[in-house]
Amino acid sequence: RSPTHPSHLRSPGCSPVDSRADSLELSRSMTLPLLQACCWLAAIAAVAPFRVRPTCAGCDRPIHMSCTALSWDSLASRLPSLAAEQPTLLDPVLAPCPASPSGLTLFRERHGWCPYSEKVWLALELKGLAYKTVLIDNMGGGRPDWYRGQTPQIQWADGRTQGESMDIVKALDAEYPASRPLYPPEGASMSSVAQMISAFRQSFPSNARPSSRAAYLFSYSGPLSRSDFEKALDATEKLLAQHDEGPFFVGRELSAADVSWAPFLERYAAQLPCLHDGLLPRDASRWPRLAEW
């Protein structure tokens, strides 16, 4: 992307350079919190099922959660995708694969770090389409010679390829009109979906790096403040209140807007408590609509 273009205004995808820079920034800021998280997980495993507020054995800090552990069977029953045939998964790092697999194919970042790949992945799953996945290593060790550009990319059934995550999500509706509509869903307008997708740019920190593994966690000069994150969550809460007939961004049905926001809010839910003690995006007492979403 152009070095003079404001990078937060367009989802950049995931590149090898971004991935290495993110590794250094993320490792410096999160090594201690991750070690603490391991202590917390060990405490949780020892008492499951539970409904407690355990503390870390190493530092005596409380774990900010209250839940009942579920069995594997119970968890499996809550995942509709398990009832569907899993997509063919090709990993060029482990075994050679053709440069142009036949049929609808998603090329996504190999390790699951890329939120832009996740947008397309989520849309494909919501629409119930049959597709293949080719994993692309952006760390440089096993990236296939025949692959060009960033992730994600889609190869359509006729062999055409396309990039830019939300352009792909929108095109999926046009290419597969009989599948579940996302842009827009039934009962919503195209303009309302587009408005909510665009609102992300004004809601999340504008000075943050929209990178792959540390998306919107750091500025170009260092960490973001707690207030930066709280403002983003407050703005998200207000947006969800605009269509209060349902829990999603445009009301009752999941849409391309939810697909666009989900990877970043999902990561915030896991990452912000590690960066700032007690900052919990799923806190229903402060952000009830976000928690319901």
Percent of the chain whose predicted confidence (pLDDT) is above 70: 75
Give the range among 25-39, 103-117, 169-183 with minimum mean pLDDT.
25-39
What is the pLDDT averaged over residues 56-68? 49
Residue 32: partners with Cβ closer than 8 Å, 6 or more residues away: none
What would the two tokens of residue 280 be? 């919990």
More reliable by pLDDT, 26 or 136: 136
Q: Say how many Å lie between the first and final Cα of the chain, rounded.
A: 33
Q: Are strands 153-155 and 161-163 parallel, antiparallel or unpaired?
A: antiparallel
Q: For residue range 96-142, list pLDDT tens digits in order.
A: 887 778 899 999 998 888 999 999 999 999 999 999 999 998 887 77
What would the two tokens of residue 191 be? 């303009």
What is the pLDDT averaged over residues 223-232? 94
Q: Angle at the Cα of 169 (from 7 to 87), degrees rounded to 5? A: 115
Could you give the CA distance from residue 250 to residue 244 in angstroms, rounded to a whole number?
8
